[in-house]
Amino acid sequence: MKKRFLFTELKKYLVHKNALIITGMRQVGKTTLIKQIFDETEGNKIWFDFENPLHTLQFENIDYDAIYTNLTKKFTKPKKRLFVFIDEIQNYPPITKIIKYLIDTYNVKFILTGSSNFYMKNLFPESLSGRKFLFFLPPLSFSEFLYFRNKIHKNIGEVKIHFSDLTKKSLLDYKEYETDYNDYLQFGGFPEVALTKDIKTKSLVLNNIFSSFYEKDLKILSDFKDVKELRDLILLLVPRTGNILDITKISSELSVPRTKLYSFIEFLEAIFFIKLIPKFTSSIDRSVAGGKKIYFADNGLLNIIARVNEGQLFENAIANQLSHYGELSFYNKRNTSEIDFILNKKTAFEVKLNAVDKDLTKLKSLCTTLNINEYYLVSKNYSKTDCTIYPMFI
């Protein structure tokens, strides 16, 4: 079974006292990830799945010392450190107080998964402050996508990327991964989808993922009485992929109050279904202000909900790919000049289906004005333009 790149990072923290919490969308591989850690952890270890009510029963005791005694009674060396793995902790909110007590009193190590950041915010109050490390597991990056398909060695995906090196890729390099990237662009990075070869089956898996998201995250986990409004909002957001959100206009189209729309959008972002990218501002141009651009967390899901044009699909993929390297923003000055993405406030990227020299000239001029010294064109199709990088190497 292939391991996500996060696996190596998580193992570093197994010796630390803090609970490790892995969160992210459904079906991105959280359960598989902690099962792999479980298999490689030596010593006293125990597994719970909180979608099974019999497993939560182990913790339904007001005597926390008795819980610990019960957890360790089957081990031949009960005084050795106990590792407790719990999948889907959001199904039993009282667990947080128990986790705190068992960490502080018995040095129990917890490795946990939860389905969304929305839950994490409400499930982990200040009582666990300083006792948890929170990790986000997104859909596969393209490097992981290639690794899962046995196209690259795992270490390639773990090497720190230098964008300047990517401008040296040849047409032969580009062609090597072009077919794989087109598949990634169309069907996204959910592990099961990536490993499925049949196109029809891929679509069925994506439909199941979206149905699970709708039935569990939207209907059960949200506090909204009418999820139809939320569904209609999602359908309205799809054609706006890569655009600045105009809440007033959306409110008018859906006949939903702006305050309610803000709650919907905050919820969708918190459960990792969408991502909102803010505007970049600099000391040179303080006139830039306003809304955020919207992107969806996975291209496959985006395509399942509704179709977008090729440019939007490509830009959405790049937004997700660049997000692996830090914080993104975008530049837009009164719709007369713009830069698609600025990474960590210092590296600019302009996304084009076919990059040409005039795109680079314009980007360079804007970056000079904004004091951004590093900038690149990201071209879907092969181009000989300088400072051009290709999506399959990001």
What would you measure as the largest C-alpha separation in the chain, in angstroms? 71
Identify whether the C-beta of residue 88 lies closer than 8 Å to the C-beta of residue 51.
yes
Highest-scoring range by mean pLDDT, 87-96, 182-191, 286-295: 182-191
**Nearest-angstrom CA–CA distance, 92 and 95:** 6
Instruction: Tell me what the pLDDT averaged over the chain comes to.
Output: 90
> Domain tally for the chain?
2
Q: What is the pLDDT of residue 289?
A: 43
Does residue 101 lie within any of the structural domains? yes
Q: Is residue 206 part of a domain?
A: yes
pLDDT band at 223 (very low <50, low <70, confident <90, very high): low
List, for residues 241-292, the tens digit of each pLDDT value.
999 999 999 999 999 999 999 989 988 998 899 999 999 976 555 444 458 9
Those residues whose C-beta lies under 8 Å from the C-beta of residue 342, and which sit 6 or more positions away, are 280, 328, 329, 330, 331, 348, 349, 372
Q: Do residue 113 and residue 233 come from a single domain?
A: no
Interstrand relation of 337-343 and 328-333 (parallel, antiparallel or unpaired): antiparallel
In this predicted structure, what is the pLDDT of residue 30?
95
Q: Are residues 39 and 171 in the same domain?
A: no
What pLDDT does 243 receive? 96
Within a domain: residue 118?
Answer: yes
Least confident of 215-224, 247-256, 296-305, 313-322: 215-224
Instruction: With respect to residue 141, please indicate whether it lies within any of the assigned structural domains.
Output: no
Neighbours of 66 (CB within 10 A): 10
Domain extent at residue 279:
160-393
Looking at the predicted structure, is the pLDDT value of residue 334 above 80? no
Residue 335 has pLDDT above 80, yes or no: no
Does residue 184 share a domain with residue 130?
Answer: no
The CATH number that applies at residue 127 is 3.40.50.300
Asked whether residue 182 falls in the same domain as residue 53, the answer is no
* Residue-level pLDDT at 115: 77
Average pLDDT over residues 60-76: 94
In this structure, the answer to whether residues 26 and 100 fall within a common structural domain is: yes
pLDDT, residue 391, reads 97
- Kindly state the average pLDDT of the residues 177-206: 96
Unique residue bearing structure tokens 């993929």: 317
- Give residue 288's pLDDT: 43
SS (H, E, C) the chain: CCCCCHHHHHHCCCCCCCEEEEECCCCCCHHHHHHHHHHHCCCEEEEEECCCHHHHHHHCCCCHHHHHHHHHCCCCCCCCCEEEEEECHHHCCCHHHHHHHHHHHHCCEEEEEECCHHHHHHHCCHHHCCCEEEEECCCCCHHHHHHHCCCCCHHHHHCCCCHHHHCCCCHHHHHHHHHHHHHHHHHCCCHHHHHCCCHHHHHHHHHHHHHHHHHHHHHHHCCCCCHHHHHHHHHHHHHHCCCECCHHHHHHHHCCCHHHHHHHHHHHHHCCCEEEECECCCCCCCCCCCCCEEEECCHHHHHHHCCCCHHHHHHHHHHHHHHCCCCEEEEEECCCEEEEEEECCCEEEEEECCCCHHHHHHHHHHHHHCCCCEEEEEECCCCCCCCEECHHHC
What's the confidence (pLDDT) of residue 190? 97
Of the ranges 28-37, 124-133, 211-220, 280-289, which is most confident? 28-37
Residue 143 falls inside a structural domain: no
Please report whether residue 148 resides in a domain.
no
Structure pTM?
A: 0.91
Q: Parallel, antiparallel, or unpaired for β 388-389 and 374-379?
A: parallel
Residues 222 and 370 in one domain: yes
The one-letter amino acid code at 387 reads C
Domain check: are 121 and 242 in the same one? Answer: no
Which pLDDT band, with edges at 50, 70 and 90, does 167 fall under?
very high
∠ CA 332-347-282, rounded to 5°: 50
Q: Which residues fall within 8 angstroms of residue 176, CB to CB, at 6 or more apart? A: none
